[in-house]
Structure 1
Amino acid sequence: MPTDEIIDPAIDTTGRRWQLFQFIGPILGVILVIMTIGVVTLYTYRTMREGAITLSRNLLKSQQRYITEEVSHYLSPATGISFMASGMLTSTDMQANANAFMTLGRSVLRGIPHVDSFYLADDQGHFWMSARRDGQYEETTLQIEDGAPYYRHRLTDKDGRFISTDRLSAEGYDPRLRPWYKGALHFESRAPDRRLFWTDPYPYLSTHQFIVTASLAFRTLDGRHVVFAISISLNRLTQFVNSLKVGKSGQAVIVDLSGHVIAGHNMMDVGKPGFDAENVHLDPKTQPVFVRALNVFRVMGDGTGMVQARGQNYVTIASAMPLAKRSWVLLLNAPESDFASFTHAVQKQAVYFSIVIVGLALVLALGLIYQGRRVERLQKDLTVLDDKKKEDNAVLLKITNTEGLLNPEQEQPYFCEALAERAAARRASVWRLLADGDRLLCEDMFDRGRDAHGSGMELTRNGHPGVFECLESGHDVDLPDAGEDQRFQSLQRVVMRMIGAKHLFFMPVVEEHRPVGAIMLEDPYQLDEADRVIALLASVLAVRFGHVQEEEKKTAQLQGGTAATAVGTTGRSARSPMRIVEGFLIHPEEEGNGVPPMPGLYPTVPIMVLEFSEAYSSNRDTAQAMLELVAELGGKIEGIARERGLFSAQVAGNRFIFLGSCSQSIDAEGAVHLAEAAIGIREACLMVIAQMNTQLMFRIGIDVGPVLVAYFGERRDIFNLWGEGLTMAEALAHNAPDGGQIQVSERAYQTLQGVFLFRLRGEFFLPNNGISNSYILAGRSESTAAERS
């Protein structure tokens, strides 16, 4: 059963419930206040909004009735004058009727500015017209002169006095074919109140007016058909509609059922050159409210409505205008905000007051929560402090009860363990200053992550002068990044870099004002909690190290420098001379006419690593058999390396390191020889291992990369190399998927791909280089094998 599922029945849950209530109670109170205010505000807003919308609809209805009356008044001259003309122009003498028509026209045109012109025609094709012309009055008669029809224009003033005359050809014109004439005859048989015929609005080019014509047909006393027509300009009607104030920013427009605009904002350009008044319709992009209101009217008829467009609500009203053409519709709209602005203002005020109330409630709630959390935090701090004291006391008690605490001859590994645990450090170490005062010896070093101890490392004054300077100052040093402090840069590179540590706490151990050692903590995360343990251990170590240092000084004084030298010489002469074997099966000087390569960087060296696994056994008989097997394999490996002409072959533990060549330029032939040697070694090893009952197995890695070449020793005769190429080859060998396989890097594959067969292994990660592909070397390609044979 997991430990986190174990419940201790002795735990008192009352305190936890109270803590939970302290936190949740104020929050629930604030939420309740917010919900109450929200409900009241929403109810008030909806009530006021509905009242505002009702008021706005009533206002729009009043506006609609007013506009209807004004439009009716605007068009009423057509009805009254038409029926008056039907009673005046019934004489059998058409010339007398024409004179009366002209007199009537001048009188009406002079008194009613929106009447544009009058027409009179009979069933024999005679035509008379009275219209305005540049502030005067034009009387037009259709006459036959010289056998051809002509318009005779007679220009008079307002009293009918003659001013001038002219004529224009009227070829092809017949008034009996005009829509107003035919429509009037069609309506002649209707009831008197429905006999007046209205044409569709059309532009009149000569006067730049957008007009509508009303015509009435009647008979003279001798039974002749006569049609009287009156044209009314819609330009002034457009100006009237546009001058209306519908709310603050509302609009009105008169359209027909097809959406063609009769009067309104769209007709403002009537009279301007190029404007086509017959093709003006409601635009769904710029007038979506009117378009939707007209669609609703087509379905529902007269009435008010609510339309949403442009992200806000609009109150609309649509009604037919039967006083004119029955297909005309009056549309009005106004944003809801025009009528409900006071509602929004009241709503904003309510919101502001609500925010103030909620803010005060929230401040009180946060104050209660803060106070409760502060008390709880104080209790936790006291509990943690008490626990810390208990832990410190336990550690200190264990240290003080340790056997041989002050005996410098007895090791005390618990010192570093206690330091690492209490400071939560990655590594803790204690260092003793030797009697010469120029060396610090690591007495114990504990790696908490690996749970391992180490010792024996030395720091010299020449190598780390800054460390000894701080040691002699006697002051603690706490560095978040030791690599940025010049005094500890060398220590960070030599000691701390091994585990990747940065943070360093360095404390000199002082005994009677003289340094005898030091305590180091690497990456401590709880340094403050370990102060008591550090202080106690520093005191204990001061006694231990001080005693050892005194003994060393006494011994040095008794023996003297000469005796010490004699003892050292005797000790060295008593030892048998030792020859350091470099481990080369093939030394680099054996190739290249005995001239070794110069020290330095070689950028493209073909290098191979052969690694044996399971090559060690603690059993004596097994170990002897393993040695014999390895010796046999070593001989075969050396023979293959010499046969292929490799540059060098070196043994290092359970690994063999081979160089195909060592030159500053790319040596493809050396890489080929190295790969051929790898294939030969693989075959030889597999044959030998297959004949014996052993767990020994091998893996091979090949790379072509940069290495550093150097010579060591007093005579500079020890050849050594290291670098990225060797690291890559070792990693490829160590991580080969199965025993007995040859894993090749991307760089080696590019060099050998035309000569050998490979299969892709996958992506391979190498620190400091990133991800690249690796391949498995299968053997020589058939073409190159045939050429070689």
Structure 2
Amino acid sequence: MEGFLAGWRTTTTNQAVAFEEVQTVTRRRRLRIWLPVAVVAILLAALIGNAIHEFRVMRADALALSEGVIGNLQSRIETEVGAYLGPIPGIVRFTRDLLADQDLLSVRRELAEKVASGILDNTPQLTSVFIGSPAGEFFMVRRYQEGEQRGLETKTIRRPHGAKDAPVMQLTRHGAKGEVLSDEQAPWDGYDPRARPWFVGAAKNEDLFWTDVYLFFTTSAAGITASVPYLNADGELVAVVGTDVELASLSRFLATLSIGDSGLALIVDDQGRVMAHPRKPLVTKDGGGELRLLRVDDIGDPVVSRAFDRYRVEGHGRHDFEVAGRRYISSTSSLSQLLPHDWSILMIVPEDDFVGFVAENVRDTLGMGLAVIALAGGLAGLVVRQGLRADQEAIDILERQAQLDAQGEAFGMLATQSTLFEDRGTNSLALVTEAVARSSRVRRASLWHLAATGDTLVCLDCFDQQTEGHTDGATLDRSEHPGLFEWLQNESAVSDVASSDDARLVSLYRSYLSPLGCEALLSVPVKVDGQVSGVLWLEDGRRSEWPNQVQRFARAIGNLMAIRQAASATAGAVVAMAPAGKAKADDSEAAPRTEARVQELNIDARLGARRTAAFAAKLPDGPHPVRADDVQRIDQLAFVSLRFSDALALARSADDRSGESTIARLLAQIDAAASKHGVAYLKFLTDRVVAAADPGADVDHATVCLAEFALAAQAACERLFAEQHAPSAFHLGMDLGPAIGSLIDRNEGSFNLWGEAARMAYAMADSAPPGTIHTTESVYEALHDRYLFQLRGHHYLEDVGEFSTYLLGGRL
């Protein structure tokens, strides 16, 4: 044994030297990677920083330029509105003065028609010219269009001398060339010039009067009227001369303006009425179907509404705002210098229309820069890749060499150990599993013996590098793993499999490998006289493949074990493990070995007593028993908690034939398992199943029964989730500790259990990996000589301290 340890120290030294070489190569690899990456990162940061700076500067310049563009457009609109409305007062006065030498009440119709027709022909923004008298007589020439026919229409309203007689209305239409198309009398339409705002305002002001926007009587179009009174020498009103201007002409002008790509300009008043809009009609209907002027709210554009609200609050000028994540520029200016009304030009344009080209230019520049950097990075990547490939090959060579050296020395030392070929029980096999696991750098290495009946595999020894511990005695039965035994009989050489993907090994993976954190399995049969008598397993995490040197080494160890087995058979000894639950051949060594294992794992044998005392101290009467007749304190009681984490999986149908749900079938199987193993307490609460041992039964026997129930429940859950091809969405927890029991119904004999043991079982289930049984150290103390456990971690309990937790893997 001393020689073996000395040789093992030499192997460790060789591995340390190889490790230093690997570290040197690794540092060189990091330099090769990070230096080009740092250069590319600096270039990229400089490019992005320059692009951001350029964008901000160009954006500020573009916005400054936009102020001039918007100002010019507003001046243009003001000029157009001035040119549109400015001549009208002069035209109205000219018309009045032209007819002033005539008696307007008896003016000749031919003269008035010629004057009005000339004015309309030369002033396109006017729609009509008219004269009204205080007597209610009216004369108007207006433009008309019906389909493709257009021209001038003369409307004359005369009032007979008899007050009771209805007014006489004459309508005459002229074509585009002046020809008379129709001349007829028509029923009076109720029009009285004396009631119209243009007549009333001019008569009151005795000077030029501009009406507010209103709907024209004849066409129902939105417009305004300019009118002037004609007074005689005595200052009496003789007549009112006026002309109409439809605002639709202003809307058509606004539609011709180009304000960025999608900006618009409109004219509004302070009441929110729209005087001109490039795309909307100016007349709409209210809720009662009556015609009225269009308002800002009627447009239904949140951008226009926001711009108008900013104007009403902040007044004329520029206002920037944001709507739906997009920035807009708005500007308002007054038209009060042209009209005696509160009209304003409201101009709105998205900021992108002015600065969008900046983003595009910066984006193009950034794209070209990134392309250059990407090209440089690609070239650097090729160089780095070549260097990394060389370094990786060097590391692989060093690691393979170190592994080959370790395996060769381990095999040589094992072959020279005389104790290996003597019948010394399983203690000598610990050298084999530990040497195989360490030199092959796998998680676990185990040796198994196949019983003569061929129905049972018994673990002779298993070494786990993570826990630095040996276990033995685990059994695998053909009844629970039929695919495994069929696989062992058919595989004659080294088998390289991913156990989680092999249908024959699903049960082995779920019950043995997965709870211990292993997925890949390398199996080497141990054959004596051509018959499989055992197997060597190398277990590890997920692997894409097993290296050839590991397979060759495992085959060599398997042959060595076959020679040992044959030598033992020749000497009349059988190297095998006693069946699970039976005592060892040498009982005098079993107790010290168990005691040493407890000390090695730092297990506190007084944990149960400390937990009981701490729990009793929390009760109202201190450490004394509860005095109520129907409530009893229990010092040691085993609890199991089963928690489901996928409610949808439980709600699915278990199969297509019966229509039974998964949860119904699962609860039936769990209830059957509870009856089989004598579980006295079983409850199903929301997503959790709670089971407890019989408080009146022997603690050791009851704990074993509950552990068997937990394994049975685990197997039932695994089967149902596997049938649904779903992940194992269940978690089991188990504890052995103090509890309280109370009688609920004396007649029915029903009772309830709760306390610290139940709470700890809940906590163990909540922190358990999917598909596993997570136990406390108290459970390990009670069952470690009967079941296979793996150290999981640690847990802190108030007034007790820290203790270890374990995963229950199976029976020994």
Task: Check whether TM > 0.5.
Answer: yes
User: Residue 493 of structure 2 aligns to a residue in which SS?
Assistant: coil
Match of 1:209 in 2: 221
Whether the aligned pair in 2 keeps the contact of 1:142 and 1:170 (CA below 8 Å) is no
- Residue 42 of structure 1 deviates from its aligned partner by 3.1
Distance in 2 (alpha carbons) for counterparts of 1:480 and 1:219:
112
Specify whether residues 355 and 284 from structure 1 end up closer, same or farther in structure 2 by C-alpha distance, changes over 3 A only. farther
Identify the match of residue 163 of structure 2 among 119, 138, 147. 147
Distance in 1 (alpha carbons) for counterparts of 2:639 and 2:345:
92
1:240-639 to 2 correspondences below 5 Å: 240-265=253-278, 267-268=280-281, 270=283, 278-283=292-297, 286-295=300-309, 297=311, 303=317, 306-321=320-335, 322-340=337-355, 342-367=357-382, 369-371=384-386, 373-374=388-389, 376-407=391-422, 412-413=428-429, 414-422=431-439, 424=442, 426=444, 428-429=446-447, 431=449, 444-446=460-462, 448=464, 451=469, 475-481=493-499, 505-509=522-526, 514=530, 517-521=533-537, 523-524=539-540, 528=547, 531=551, 534-550=554-570
Whether the aligned pair in 2 keeps the contact of 1:445 and 1:454 (CA below 8 Å) is yes
One-letter identity of the residue aligned with 1:146: G
Distance in 2 (alpha carbons) for counterparts of 1:757 and 1:541:
56
Whether the aligned pair in 2 keeps the contact of 1:183 and 1:197 (CA below 8 Å) is yes
Whether the aligned pair in 1 keeps the contact of 2:484 and 2:508 (CA below 8 Å) is no
- Residue 52 of structure 1 deviates from its aligned partner by 4.1
Distance in 1 (alpha carbons) for counterparts of 2:37 and 2:305:
50
Distance in 2 (alpha carbons) for counterparts of 1:106 and 1:216:
19
Distance in 1 (alpha carbons) for counterparts of 2:333 and 2:474:
106
Distance in 2 (alpha carbons) for counterparts of 1:225 and 1:451:
122
Deviation larger for 74-83 or 467-476: 467-476
Specify whether residues 237 and 430 from structure 1 end up closer, same or farther in structure 2 by C-alpha distance, changes over 3 A only. closer
Match of 1:572 in 2: none
Whether the aligned pair in 2 keeps the contact of 1:90 and 1:97 (CA below 8 Å) is no
Whether the aligned pair in 2 keeps the contact of 1:102 and 1:139 (CA below 8 Å) is no
Specify whether residues 120 and 388 from structure 1 end up closer, same or farther in structure 2 by C-alpha distance, changes over 3 A only. same
- Residue 30 of structure 1 deviates from its aligned partner by 1.7
Match of 1:105 in 2: 116
- Residue 357 of structure 1 deviates from its aligned partner by 1.7
Distance in 2 (alpha carbons) for counterparts of 1:257 and 1:307:
20
Query: Deviation digits for residues 222-247 of structure 1, max 9, x if unmatched?
Result: 43234322222223333333344434
- Residue 81 of structure 1 deviates from its aligned partner by 1.8
Match of 2:197 in 1: 179
Query: Deviation digits for residues 571-601 of structure 1, max 9, x if unmatched?
Result: xxxxxxxxxxxxxxxxxxxxxxxxxxxxxxx
- Residue 260 of structure 1 deviates from its aligned partner by 0.7
1:64-75 to 2 correspondences below 5 Å: 64-75=74-85
Whether the aligned pair in 2 keeps the contact of 1:318 and 1:330 (CA below 8 Å) is yes
Matched, 1:219 2:234: no
Specify whether residues 167 and 18 from structure 1 end up closer, same or farther in structure 2 by C-alpha distance, changes over 3 A only. same
Distance in 1 (alpha carbons) for counterparts of 2:396 and 2:355:
58
Distance in 1 (alpha carbons) for counterparts of 2:167 and 2:377:
90
Report % sequence identity.
Answer: 20
Distance in 2 (alpha carbons) for counterparts of 1:465 and 1:280:
83
1:187-206 to 2 correspondences below 5 Å: 187-188=205-206, 195-206=207-218
User: Residue 523 of structure 1 aligns to a residue in which SS?
Assistant: strand
Specify whether residues 739 and 364 from structure 1 end up closer, same or farther in structure 2 by C-alpha distance, changes over 3 A only. closer
User: Residue 230 of structure 1 aligns to a residue in which SS?
Assistant: strand
Whether the aligned pair in 1 keeps the contact of 2:276 and 2:282 (CA below 8 Å) is no
One-letter identity of the residue aligned with 2:89: T
Query: Deviation digits for residues 362-383 of structure 1, max 9, x if unmatched?
Result: 3245445545554554454444
Match of 1:168 in 2: 188
Q: How many residues end up aligned between the 2 structures?
A: 592
TM-score (norm 1): 0.59
Distance in 1 (alpha carbons) for counterparts of 2:751 and 2:84:
101
Larger RCO (CA within 8 A; separation ≥ 6)? 2
- Residue 84 of structure 1 deviates from its aligned partner by 1.2
Specify whether residues 110 and 739 from structure 1 end up closer, same or farther in structure 2 by C-alpha distance, changes over 3 A only. closer
User: Residue 267 of structure 2 aligns to a residue in which SS?
Assistant: strand
Distance in 2 (alpha carbons) for counterparts of 1:220 and 1:497:
115
Matched, 1:78 2:88: yes
Deviation larger for 423-432 or 353-362: 423-432
Whether the aligned pair in 2 keeps the contact of 1:399 and 1:405 (CA below 8 Å) is yes
One-letter identity of the residue aligned with 1:347: V
Distance in 1 (alpha carbons) for counterparts of 2:355 and 2:127:
43
TM-score (norm 2): 0.58
Match of 1:118 in 2: 129
Unpaired stretches in structure 2, ≥5 consecutive residues: 1-19, 145-150, 574-590, 592-627, 641-666, 682-690, 704-734, 766-770, 775-812
Match of 1:783 in 2: none
One-letter identity of the residue aligned with 2:494: D
Match of 1:137 in 2: 153
Structure number with bigger Rg:
1
- Residue 255 of structure 1 deviates from its aligned partner by 1.6
User: Residue 159 of structure 2 aligns to a residue in which SS?
Assistant: strand
Distance in 1 (alpha carbons) for counterparts of 2:323 and 2:671:
77
- Residue 281 of structure 1 deviates from its aligned partner by 1.1
Match of 1:782 in 2: none
User: Residue 115 of structure 2 aligns to a residue in which SS?
Assistant: helix
Whether the aligned pair in 1 keeps the contact of 2:500 and 2:519 (CA below 8 Å) is yes
- Residue 284 of structure 1 deviates from its aligned partner by 8.2
Distance in 1 (alpha carbons) for counterparts of 2:474 and 2:45:
72
Whether the aligned pair in 2 keeps the contact of 1:504 and 1:524 (CA below 8 Å) is yes
Unpaired stretches in structure 1, ≥5 consecutive residues: 1-10, 189-194, 554-617, 619-681, 687-695, 710-720, 772-789
User: Residue 88 of structure 2 aligns to a residue in which SS?
Assistant: helix
Distance in 1 (alpha carbons) for counterparts of 2:55 and 2:519:
64
Whether the aligned pair in 1 keeps the contact of 2:403 and 2:439 (CA below 8 Å) is no
- Residue 204 of structure 1 deviates from its aligned partner by 1.7
